[in-house]
Structure 1
């Protein structure tokens, strides 16, 4: 059947960039102005410049340099993002925007990867307590109480930036597109190739190479974010350590999950919820029940079982006979 939406008949604009430490793929349908893609990249670089911990002059690094010394005033957008990240961190459900010193101690995914001594881990835990950050709403200042503390918005920044890109595209009346920030997806508007205008999104096999899906979720426009143990590993004496570290123990979080994928209206919510659900270790009762912005979640276990939250079995189409959809 022919798709009658003429927006979809045009060749999409596509461009690949490198930013945020990853490959950025931007796709716009129904638009003939390629300048918008470069303007989008400039927007990404703007937010990267103020939020990254990889540039000494960023707003976040100005906070880290002043740890244990004095509060630092930041821009309104940065302050609001930091406040959200701190509030979520203080819920102690898994997400922690102060975990940077512990990540550096382990170095998983980097050349200095190692299994730290217990004493080093214990001393580092004192630097990652989210209660030790003081926010002043009136002055828009941020203060890390102890020297050596570090704020790192890496676990939330991609989602925040993706949401800002969508807002930016709407100012140009872009009705359909794909924002891919290194695997974090934000789908904008109706899907261009299907008459039902729904997107088909593959859930990755956590035991296999990127791009191999174990199942497909059919969904309207949304964000898709995954937390998984397959992305970065450290192998020592036959034991594997993944990169998702537990702020309570200082060690990689141990449970039966290989990955969690969250489908949500806003990408920033997906970033937070994938981490928290991974730490929960299993589907959470009534998760998303009172929040229409959380569409559903797919849990994949290390023993090849798939559990669904908020989705029904009809929402998930299994592709691999190595896995089974189970009831929790």
Structure 2
């Protein structure tokens, strides 16, 4: 254990991206980076949010069915990435907003819509109806009522950018916690081998109570789960992870999937890939950037991928 570095632990808390953010940095000379990092988070939120009437993403949504909208290179790159994986049709869909707003699971007015309503909304979540012009940096949603929502990957992207900032500054160790989306930087000062001990949430207990732990070098840990937001109607439980292929909550016996990856933005995508697949994908952990995953079923049985 590096006791000297442990004594130079600094934490800053901030509310942004619809969640509580905690940044932990080790090293007195890097303390000023915490405020700079929070400012960076606010900057990206201003560009990417759909929870306000005005942002770069909202300008694209306002132009749906009307006109292409030019955005910054950062926003364009993230939209392009989101559309690319949405078109793979494995469950991740950055156009799913109209369907989410129909069900409203986790929000006031949550209800079970009719089949007819769901079929109408499915027409508005087609990722092939997004026109991207890289030269002009414009994005056009072809149908009125279509909406882009980058909430499924924005936190991962932002976490990666904060890590880049810290690494460039020479930060020896740190933890970026964007509301449960975790990214570890450098060598852990708590262990001589520099590895981090990362908890995996118990879906049936309060946040922070773990069912398992993983020991890894610096990496990202992202979870997709159905245990925090749901609706109970006529004795049936409807969770918030809607399947864009059907319009209904995904039928699954999984509570959560936690993935460990090099890049946090890819962790967001890969967590949904595995969750919607429902079981491990042969060779997944051998793909570049993927470290491992832990599947937790509703009966709390676990399947480990890539770990002993």
Give the structure-2-normalised TM-score. 0.97
Task: Please list, as runs of the form range in 1=range in 2, the aligned pairs for 1:1-328 lying within 5 A after superposition.
Answer: 3=1, 5=2, 8-291=5-288, 293-311=289-307, 313=308
The answer to whether the Cα contact below 8 Å between 1:284 and 1:309 also exists between their aligned partners in 2 is no
Partner of 1:324: none
Using the TM superposition, give the Cα deviation of residue 170 of structure 1 relative to its aligned residue in structure 2, in angstroms: 2.0
The answer to whether the Cα contact below 8 Å between 2:175 and 2:182 also exists between their aligned partners in 1 is yes
- Aligned equivalents of 1:137, 1:36: Cα separation in 2: 33
SS at match of 2:40: helix
Aligned pairs, how many?
A: 308
Structure 2: which 5+ residue stretches go unaligned?
Answer: none
- Aligned equivalents of 1:103, 1:175: Cα separation in 2: 41
Using the TM superposition, give the Cα deviation of residue 308 of structure 1 relative to its aligned residue in structure 2, in angstroms: 1.6
Give the structure-1-normalised TM-score. 0.92
- Aligned equivalents of 2:98, 2:298: Cα separation in 1: 28
Structure 1: which 5+ residue stretches go unaligned?
Answer: 314-328
Using the TM superposition, give the Cα deviation of residue 290 of structure 1 relative to its aligned residue in structure 2, in angstroms: 3.0
Using the TM superposition, give the Cα deviation of residue 33 of structure 1 relative to its aligned residue in structure 2, in angstroms: 4.6
The answer to whether the Cα contact below 8 Å between 2:3 and 2:189 also exists between their aligned partners in 1 is no
Using the TM superposition, give the Cα deviation of residue 127 of structure 1 relative to its aligned residue in structure 2, in angstroms: 0.2
The answer to whether the Cα contact below 8 Å between 1:257 and 1:278 also exists between their aligned partners in 2 is yes
1:97-156 per-position Cα deviation (integer Å, ceiling 9, x unaligned): 000000110101111111111110000000001111111111111000000000000000
Using the TM superposition, give the Cα deviation of residue 7 of structure 1 relative to its aligned residue in structure 2, in angstroms: 5.8
CA RMSD of aligned residues (A): 1.2
SS at match of 1:28: strand
Q: Which runs of 4+ in 1 moved over 6 A?
A: none
The answer to whether the Cα contact below 8 Å between 2:95 and 2:125 also exists between their aligned partners in 1 is yes
